[in-house]
Structure 1
Amino acid sequence: MRHDQEHQSIPNMVRTAARRFADAPALVDGDQRLSFRQLKDQMVQAVAATMALGIEPGDRVGLCAPNSVEWIVAALGIQGAGGIVVPLNTRFKAEELSYILRKSDAKALFAAASFLGNDYVAGLKRADPQLPALRTTVSLLGKRGEADLTWDEFLGLGADPAGAHEAIDRLTPDHVSDVMFTSGTTGHPKGVMLTHGQSLRAYGWMSCEYGFAPSDSFLVIPPFFHCFGYKAGWLASFLHGVTVIPMAVFDAGRALELIERERVSILLGPPTIFHDLLHHPGRPDRDLSSLRLSMTGGSTIPESLIRAMKKDLSFDIVLSAYGLTESTALVTTTRTGDTEETVARTTGRPLPDVEVRVTDPSGRRVPPDADGEIQVRGYNVTRGYWDDPEATAAAIDGDGWLRTGDVGHLDASGNLVIVDRKKDMYIVGGFNAYPAEIEKLLLGCEGIAQVAVVGVPDPRLGEVGCAFVVPAPGARPTEEDVVAWAREHMANFKVPRHVRFLDALPRNASLKVLKDDLRARYREGSADE
């Protein structure tokens, strides 16, 4: 039976997990250790407390906090009461948070009172004191700040477990579980509506395919406000009795310590996590033999990184995948048994019951190995953007095909190859240049640990590439070295005309490179020259 049909909703899945796994460890967060039975009990209390706050079915509730036990229990409490979780990026400023809360018409807010120097409720009260969500606020992580209730005071409201169970019983796979706002790299963020059934079905399949088992423990580093940390992280884990270890802020040394101490076996995340673990000076002194399974997303995954993850981080299995929020963040994935070359070069095949096609600008399918826009159709596609029918119609056509805005192709074996985002492409003298492809090639240059490429103005060619390079430890490549290597290994129009060196690439909380920041740095540097 499919997981959406078996479990009906995410909170009901947790009740099922409590029956199946009982006193096995569900969560380890610092000194907090909850069994599956204890997690279920806290969830039921949180559902009852959420109902006591006046949250009714369909109400949206903001949730702004780092990865933690409280984040998970708060989300389950909101969903169990029939509410819709609106996860908020903890790196956003008050004005950005206010926009999302107003756009979603959030009725309440759960937020950390102290994280990275932020009291989110206090900041919002200063920026937007009439914000409706501020009429009911709950603080997480121990401090009250300017919230109405502490976490313990909130849980104390949960005095009706029977009513909580009845509310969970009323949920179906078609109920909206969350509105995930996109990163907003091009204009205002848009709220992607996803249902309980979509997430349970997609990540139930993924976790079975990947071989999640009760003996596993999963250090969840990607943030919970992103599907990578939330759905591929704790949701997928609880389905199979996997112990979840939330990490609030990524620190390579701390992560290595946790891997050794908690015998972590699953670690998913973007390539930068594994790069930092590999190059941390304390790595050789840690016992990493428990590591078993990894999946890393993105289009720039060199084979050398996969080999190093297996050799130096002890992974048995390294996989790659592709998705976007509008597709429940899961479209394709490689499978166990695929070659390292397939994992590095492609993002694998579509999920069962999910279709992928590649089209030209007129909407016609292109042949295998020809680049075009990637489009997706299936149960995993969002039912639309919250309160934005025009954006929904622009993204999803009448036949249900989601226009991803990503460029790629399907190879002869049906594997999807991501070339780049449409918006990141630049044109060099009439030739389309795709930064992700160039970045992948540049990672083969000795002395380069990380690289990001952006298009910058050029008086003769219109645009050319500028490569922002983080050197490997101990390496000191020069601009001339990088350009000379590139001229030897790639077509001339792909060769970056400029190279800038950084200690670290600017990233958002999801660890995606902030390319607008890099373009701004180039402009500022050019103005100084």
Structure 2
Amino acid sequence: MITDLKINEEKKKEYYEKGYWTHDTIRDVWERQAQANADKEYVADDQDCRMTYGEVDDAASRLAAWLVSQGIKPGDVVTLQFPNWAEFTIAYVACFKAGAVIQSLARNFNGADLTYAMNLVESRAYIGPTSFHGVDYEQQILDIADDIPTLKVIALVDKKAPKQTDLPTVAEIVATTEPLAEKVPIESDQVACLLSTSGTTGKPKEVMLTHNNILFSERVFVEGLERTADDVMWMPAPLNHAVGFFHGLVAPMLLGGRSVLMQDFAVKDAIDLINAEGATWSMCSTPFIYDIVKYLDAHPDESLPTYVLHSCGGAPVPGALIDRAHNHDILLCEIFGSTESCPHVFVPPSKCVEWNGDWSGIPFPGIEVRYIDEQGNDVAPGVQGEHISRGPHQFVGYLNEPERTDRALTDDGWWFSGDLGYMDEQGRIRINGRRKEIIIRGGENLSAREIDDNLVGCPGVGESATIGMPDDRLGERICTFVAPLGDTVPTLESVTAYLEGEGVPKRLWPERIEIIEEIPKTLMGKVRRNVLTDELAARMA
């Protein structure tokens, strides 16, 4: 059982009194919705899988019974590594029925990534595909199983390829196991999910979110965006993110609505899928809607008649893109948050066109936002400061990292985001940038320091410093400034060839190399990335 959660008792009492938190777990809410909507379709994907609430509930109850029979106890961590497949719903619901804590990891995590992440949370079970996009996940998890001492249970989803070993598949388990007979005891203030997030120190942190955190967050999310049970969520964002998992699956479930998952985004396929499924809304990062609007602009004979709302996080949304989306009858509303604070600021649909990108939004009901100076004092309306927030949605700490938790989350519940911005007298918020060394590329948080660390030892690289490079589609791309070592001047080709040879994931490769005589630093030796940002802007101009 995960303990040492950082929850302020005074705020906890307040949240219960106001009804922000309840004694319901996600399992409790799911089971009510599954009973009320048993014959209604809950989830579909673009790989020909469709399931009703009742079908997911039955299969999940059988998988949960198997997990319990294999020794999974309340509070044990189960790692899920899935593409955007409908079968993920069976696994996530089964985990909650078994009282387990979900760790959802990226589908592109390799053996080293998995070993680190699963050992960090002492994972007891793993559920993932047999094979996908040329990767043998079955062999990958077997190769590292001995390096994860707590791992005792493995199950596979053979959606794309038959299994090659005697490991059980979810389909086999469901076909041969009776449903879970008794409810496993769990509480709403216990951790429900662990999500990885990059930090300035390189290695990811495991963000702890309780049942109450997630339920409150998704409840105000759907209410603020005025969604109903008739809405159909289109979700191309990965299921290891709060966006894909919570917004893509938990939010529609709270409504008794429907979700359509997309395995691999391609713009024409996305438009065809949205139209075929009658999707009405989504929540995902800027590149998805950028590509859709660009395609619709170029193909006036095509349209998205049912698709009326796209909420967008990961980077500020430019007014020009909001205008272009509105030309196709799509409201493009900015959302702001993080894995730790997901989400807490939004542009109401009724204000989308009026504000037109000038404002990042207002706090959801029940969430407090302040702006402070470097001494921790509140700044006046319109004055830039650091964005801090507090509310029932807020994470309860980083797993097994109390010092990191204390640096980010105060005893009275304030989360220090590292983001810079200001608030006007009406409570409207404008996000301007970030203090922390994070690059947000297509909605994914990447650590600039981790990218720099990977270049230690690269031929010709003396020192390096990575920053985000503005990009219309992805928000940011990866640009690395390099001070050369010796006579060899590194190029983008030589750097990426080195990283490939070192097994560094492609998502951490620089996309632009800029040569500089010396990396600018403070007297304390910290890289002055703001100077590099200005330098890059001048060079790009």
> Same fold by TM-score, threshold 0.5 exceeded?
yes
Is the aligned partner of 1:230 residue 2:213?
A: no
**Aligned partners of 1:523 and 1:128: how far apart in 2?**
43
What secondary structure does 1:418 align onto?
strand
Encode CA deviations 1:98-156: one digit per residue, 9 max, x unaligned.
10100000011011121222223422433563323553211124332457211212324
Pick aligned residue for 2:125 from 108, 111, 116: 108
**Aligned partners of 1:393 and 1:331: how far apart in 2?**
21
Structure 1 residues 132 and 195: alpha-carbon distance in aligned structure 2, compared to 1, 3 A threshold? same
The sequence identity of aligned pairs, in percent, is: 25
Encode CA deviations 1:207-238: one digit per residue, 9 max, x unaligned.
12212222221111111110011111110001
What secondary structure does 1:5 align onto?
coil
What secondary structure does 2:44 align onto?
strand
C-alpha displacement of 1:382: 1.4
Is the aligned partner of 1:246 residue 2:261?
A: yes
Q: Assess if the C-alpha contact under 8 Å between 2:81 and 2:105 holds in 1.
A: yes
C-alpha displacement of 1:390: 1.1
What secondary structure does 1:90 align onto?
coil
**Aligned partners of 2:370 and 2:242: how far apart in 1?**
23
What secondary structure does 2:382 align onto?
coil
One-letter code aligned to 1:289: P
One-letter code aligned to 2:289: F
Alignment of 1:229-308 (within 5 A): 229-280=244-295, 284-308=300-324
Structure 1 residues 392 and 416: alpha-carbon distance in aligned structure 2, compared to 1, 3 A threshold? same
**Aligned partners of 1:225 and 1:369: how far apart in 2?**
36
Gaps of 5+ in 1: 427-434, 444-448, 460-512
Partner of 2:210: 195
What secondary structure does 1:294 align onto?
strand
C-alpha displacement of 1:247: 1.1
What secondary structure does 1:101 align onto?
helix
Is the aligned partner of 1:318 residue 2:311?
A: no
After TM superposition, what 4+ stretches of structure 1 lie above 6 angstroms from structure 2? 453-456, 513-516
Higher relative contact order by CA 8 Å / sep ≥ 6: 1 or 2?
A: 2
Structure 1 residues 68 and 360: alpha-carbon distance in aligned structure 2, compared to 1, 3 A threshold? same
What secondary structure does 1:11 align onto?
helix
Structure 1 residues 308 and 133: alpha-carbon distance in aligned structure 2, compared to 1, 3 A threshold? farther
**Aligned partners of 2:299 and 2:187: how far apart in 1?**
46
**Aligned partners of 1:26 and 1:375: how far apart in 2?**
36
Encode CA deviations 1:458-494: one digit per residue, 9 max, x unaligned.
99xxxxxxxxxxxxxxxxxxxxxxxxxxxxxxxxxxx
Partner of 2:34: 18
Q: Assess if the C-alpha contact under 8 Å between 1:60 and 1:104 holds in 2.
A: yes
Partner of 1:98: 115
What secondary structure does 1:194 align onto?
strand
One-letter code aligned to 1:395: A
What secondary structure does 1:122 align onto?
helix
**Aligned partners of 1:458 and 1:399: how far apart in 2?**
42
Q: Assess if the C-alpha contact under 8 Å between 1:369 and 1:409 holds in 2.
A: yes
One-letter code aligned to 1:396: L
Partner of 1:381: 394
Structure 1 residues 145 and 410: alpha-carbon distance in aligned structure 2, compared to 1, 3 A threshold? farther
One-letter code aligned to 2:372: T
**Aligned partners of 1:151 and 1:453: how far apart in 2?**
38
Partner of 2:403: 390
Pick aligned residue for 2:140 from 112, 123, 130: 123
What secondary structure does 1:178 align onto?
strand
Q: Assess if the C-alpha contact under 8 Å between 2:50 and 2:86 holds in 1.
A: no
**TM-score scaled by structure 1?**
0.78
Partner of 2:84: 67
Structure 1 residues 76 and 145: alpha-carbon distance in aligned structure 2, compared to 1, 3 A threshold? farther
Pick aligned residue for 1:85 from 88, 102, 110: 102
Partner of 2:358: 345
C-alpha displacement of 1:522: 3.0
Is the aligned partner of 1:41 residue 2:54?
A: no
Q: Assess if the C-alpha contact under 8 Å between 1:46 and 1:76 holds in 2.
A: no
One-letter code aligned to 1:304: A
What secondary structure does 1:340 align onto?
helix
Q: Assess if the C-alpha contact under 8 Å between 2:122 and 2:151 holds in 1.
A: no
Partner of 2:415: 402
Structure 1 residues 46 and 523: alpha-carbon distance in aligned structure 2, compared to 1, 3 A threshold? farther
C-alpha displacement of 1:58: 0.6
C-alpha displacement of 1:174: 0.8
Q: Assess if the C-alpha contact under 8 Å between 2:84 and 2:239 holds in 1.
A: yes
Structure 1 residues 65 and 453: alpha-carbon distance in aligned structure 2, compared to 1, 3 A threshold? closer
Aligned residues: 448
What secondary structure does 1:74 align onto?
helix
What secondary structure does 1:394 align onto?
helix
C-alpha displacement of 1:340: 2.6
